[in-house]
Amino acid sequence: FDCMRGRLMANKGLVKVGGIREYVDQLANAKRIIIIACGTSLHAGMVAKYLFEEVCRVTVEVEYASEFRYRNPVIRDGDVVIAISQSGETADTLVAIEKAKEMGAIILGICNVVGSSIPRTSHAGAYTHAGAEIGVASTKAFTAQLTVLYLIALQIAKEKGTMENERFRRILNELDSIPKKVQKILDNSYIAQSLASLYLDAKSMIYLGRGYNFPIALEGALKMKEISYIHAEGYPAAEMKHGPIALIDDEMPVMFIATKDATYEKIVSNIQEVKARKGKVIAIVTEGDDAVKNLADHVIEIPEVDEILTPLLSVIPLQLFAYYTGVLRGCNVDQPRNLAKSVTV
């Protein structure tokens, strides 16, 4: 958290100069945290909901900024709004911030582009410093947003004493090990590449995950749509039986995020349900998981990590799978049709 101190957002005199550190008390005492964002940034916010609720014991609502702005939301004393945006210019998020601000909310921004509009209009915040995103579809900014959200969650948990000391220390250590583990996944990119060559003609794909990996299923599907123009939908794995299961046949690739966590057994039974309907299963699994290997058509292994940190790793094979699928289909993966880096209208 200290390392963020040097990277605080100067507020250009609109409200206060300062960083999230100066709002730790408000965050720790918040009755409710409302996260507003769009697209990939919204998915980072959804991971934060699971995280803040588990380790900080605070109520969290995640809102599409593009809807929040048109609703009549209730903001109460003690609510803190966190706005997440790679570009810092997304019009829907900016308008939603103005609305929340008018209603008296404290706004904390998490943005990548230094000096962009959202940092300037927020009370405080943190830059993700992910470097310039070359592609329009957000990828490394997502990982950086998650990292900032983990640091905030740990700081609140420390203030509130809501996390057991030993786990707190373990998570901090594991955060240090993330870059090496990410590198290992990148070194195995050829697996995502060969899977892409098998499924590049798919008409549609389903992505399923539970818990911390549910937002990752949404993000994997979004990347596939954005970069390769293949229709893909993400669902909570348990929702499959409430509708999407009707789509499954021997031509439907189903991507499971099936890492070893609290929901593992349930995910395994979801995989069995898909296999029983002849769906093609690709699974992101924890290294050494032979049970899912024996069930699925293909697996991509990722290193073991505490379940709350899994999204930092599990998203990467999905980004690579979408990327290679797009490349093999001849799409312009950096500049997909109809998409803009900053959606300013």
Q: 3-class secondary structure for 276-315?
A: HCCCEEEEEEECCCHHHHHHCCEEEEECCCCHHHHHHHHH
From the list 9, 23, 50, 93, which residue makes contact with ligand F1P (rule: CB under 6 A)? 93
Closest CA to 112 of 139, 92, 150: 139
Considering the complex, state which of residue 10 and residue 339 has its C-beta at the smaller distance from ligand F1P. Answer: 339
**Is 228 a residue that touches ligand F1P (CB under 6 A)?**
no
Task: Give the nearest distance from C-beta 93 to ligand F1P in angstroms.
Answer: 5
List residues bridging with 283 in a β-sheet. Answer: 256, 299
**Is 122 a residue that touches ligand F1P (CB under 6 A)?**
no
Task: Give the nearest distance from C-beta 323 to ligand F1P in angstroms.
Answer: 13
Three-state DSSP class for residue 119: helix
User: How far apart are the C-alpha atoms of 19 and 21, rounded to whole Å?
Assistant: 5
Task: Give the nearest distance from C-beta 81 to ligand F1P in angstroms.
Answer: 15
| Window 322 to 341, contacts with ligand F1P (CB under 6 A) | 339, 341
| Window 23 to 62, contacts with ligand F1P (CB under 6 A) | 38-41
| Window 126 to 155, contacts with ligand F1P (CB under 6 A) | 136-138
Instruction: Please give the DSSP secondary-structure letter assigned to residue 55.
Output: I
Q: Which stretch binds ligand F1P (CB under 6 A): 50-58, 86-94, 308-316, 321-329?
A: 86-94
Closest CB to ligand F1P belongs to which residue? 39
* Cα→Cα distances 94→33, 36, 187, 269, 343, Å: 18, 10, 38, 42, 11
Q: At what angle do helices 39-51 and 214-228 cross, to 10 degrees?
A: 170
Query: Is 241 an annotated catalytic residue?
Result: no
| Window 305 to 324, contacts with ligand F1P (CB under 6 A) | none
Task: Give the nearest distance from C-beta 307 to ligand F1P in angstroms.
Answer: 25
**Residue 147: which H helix or E strand, with range?**
helix 140-160
The residue annotated as part of the active site, out of 49, 101, 140, 341, is 341
Three-state DSSP class for residue 179: helix
**Is 87 a residue that touches ligand F1P (CB under 6 A)?**
yes
Which residues contact ligand F1P (rule: CB under 6 A)? 38-41, 85-87, 90, 93, 136-138, 339, 341-343
